Chains A and B, each alone.
Chain A
Amino acid sequence: MYNKLIFLFLFFSFACNVIAENNNSDSFNQFEASLMKELISESNPVNQIRDKIVDALKNKDSTNINLYLKDLESYKTRSFMPIRDIEKEYIFIELKMYRELLKLRLNAFKTLYDSTEYDDRVKIASDDPLMFIVSKHHKEKKSYVNYYDIFHKDIMNSSLTQVEKDELAILLLLDDAYISVHKWSTLLFRVEKFISDYPNHEDVPWIQKSILTPLQKR
């Protein structure tokens, strides 16, 4: 009889513990969710837009990317950089937005020596999922592999015009133009061909002065 009572007591106390633990776990989950919600609402709008970009990247959805980037640009000041070019480049490559990639590269190279855009101590949006994804990508990407070598088939099959494809190839191959004689010669050939194929293209004067001149002098 006593044994039965002890068994029942133990059973009930165990059952009560399980229920209490479940309740605790539920309340912990609720606490965690509310904390996350609070954190999200407290995080600045720049982080919220950057998080939307991460979602778009996960869903391979390029529909609103330009809108998000435009929104981010509105927060840009001399002392705050809401998104880095390296992050934009990753987004455009991942979502196969090659026309945007071309514009980005062109602007980046044309303003490479213009250090007046930001202050020396510019604050950069960081420590968030977007930065983590881009850093991870660059750690995994072998430095000697050029983006053009990886994506040239995609670029060739994209909706870019032939002149845009040729220009994008030059701007991507520039990354490692000066690391081997073969890459140097390949790029020099492409640049000279571009200039002779499209002599009236608006970027030809810049390509001639900024890219061709140092490539030719050897």
Chain B
Amino acid sequence: MKKILLILLLFFSLMCSACSSWSKWLAKGPVERPPLDENAPVTYFFASSYPVIPESSVYLATLEKSFSTITASDYVINYLIKEARTLGANFIYIKQSFSTTGIVPGKILVDFYYSETWLQNKIMESETLKKEQR
């Protein structure tokens, strides 16, 4: 009986460790913005594919987030979008997290920005699309 309990406990603790994650705010910018509406458009880009940010971007904060390798990427993205809206950011910039020995698996560095240009372009784009559809 004890053995079964021990196995169950081990299994449970493994499950917990696999699902557990933590986040740490590494820096916050000098500018504070009001939170965004829960339907406000927020997008994310990976630094490895987009190694520059829009020039008009206002830096808001940097977050280090760990997540288990079994955590669904949708869960991480939704978490980041929620954090972004709270900060008033509409632009999430996802970078790798490194230690002195290399990439840390299951850990990302995320910058949050508010970018007017990106938003304006998107609005212009949707306006053009609407006109064309008419």
Chain A residues packing against B (C-beta within 8 Å): 109-110, 112-116, 120, 174-181, 184, 205-206, 209-211, 213-214, 217-218
The answer to whether A175 touches B100 (Cβ under 8 A) is no
Query: With A210-B55, A213-B57, A217-B111 as given contacts, are A116 and B121 in contact (CB-CB < 8 Å)?
Result: yes
Q: How far is the CA of A55 from the CA of B63 in the complex (A)?
A: 51
Q: How far is the CA of A113 from the CA of B111 in the complex (A)?
A: 17
Q: B55 is contacted by which of A115, A176, A209 (Cβ under 8 Å)? A: A209
CB neighbours of B117 from chain A (8 A)? 113-114
Query: With A184-B98, A213-B57 as given contacts, are A178 and B52 in contact (CB-CB < 8 Å)?
Result: no
The answer to whether B96 touches A113 (Cβ under 8 A) is no
Q: Which of B1-9, B43-51, B77-85 is the contact stretch?
A: B43-51
Q: B48 is contacted by which of A112, A179, A205, A217 (Cβ under 8 Å)? A: A179
Other A-B contacts than A115-B121, A205-B55, 18 sampled, CB-CB below 8 A, are: A112-B50, A112-B52, A113-B117, A116-B121, A116-B128, A120-B129, A175-B51, A180-B102, A180-B103, A181-B100, A181-B103, A210-B57, A213-B53, A214-B53, A214-B111, A217-B26, A217-B59, A217-B111
The answer to whether B98 touches A210 (Cβ under 8 A) is no
CB neighbours of A175 from chain B (8 A)? 51
Q: How far is the CA of A51 from the CA of B55 in the complex (A)?
A: 37
Is B14 part of the binding interface, using a Cβ–Cβ cutoff of 8 Å? no
Q: B93 is contacted by which of A109, A114, A214 (Cβ under 8 Å)? A: A214
Where chain B touches its partner, the secondary structure class is mixed
Shortest beta-carbon distance from A105 to chain B in Å = 11
B71-98: contact bitstring with A at CB < 8 Å (1 yes, 0 no)?
0000000000000000000000101101
Shortest beta-carbon distance from A68 to chain B in Å = 29
Q: How far is the CA of A174 from the CA of B117 in the complex (A)?
A: 22
CB neighbours of A110 from chain B (8 A)? 55
Shortest beta-carbon distance from A114 to chain B in Å = 6
Q: How far is the CA of A217 from the CA of B108 in the complex (A)?
A: 12
Shortest beta-carbon distance from A102 to chain B in Å = 15
The answer to whether B54 touches A113 (Cβ under 8 A) is yes
CB neighbours of B96 from chain A (8 A)? 178-179
Is B124 part of the binding interface, using a Cβ–Cβ cutoff of 8 Å? yes
CB neighbours of A114 from chain B (8 A)? 117, 121
Query: With A178-B51, A180-B102, A210-B53 as given contacts, are A217 and B121 in contact (CB-CB < 8 Å)?
Result: no
Is B27 part of the binding interface, using a Cβ–Cβ cutoff of 8 Å? yes
Q: A217 is contacted by which of B50, B62, B100 (Cβ under 8 Å)? A: B62
Q: How far is the CA of A216 from the CA of B42 in the complex (A)?
A: 23
The answer to whether B95 touches A218 (Cβ under 8 A) is yes
10 chain-A/chain-B pairs, Cβ below 8 angstroms: A109-B51, A110-B55, A113-B117, A115-B122, A116-B121, A116-B128, A174-B51, A177-B51, A180-B103, A209-B53
Interface residues of B in 100-134 (CB under 8 A from A): 100, 102-103, 109, 111, 115, 117-118, 121-122, 124-125, 128-129
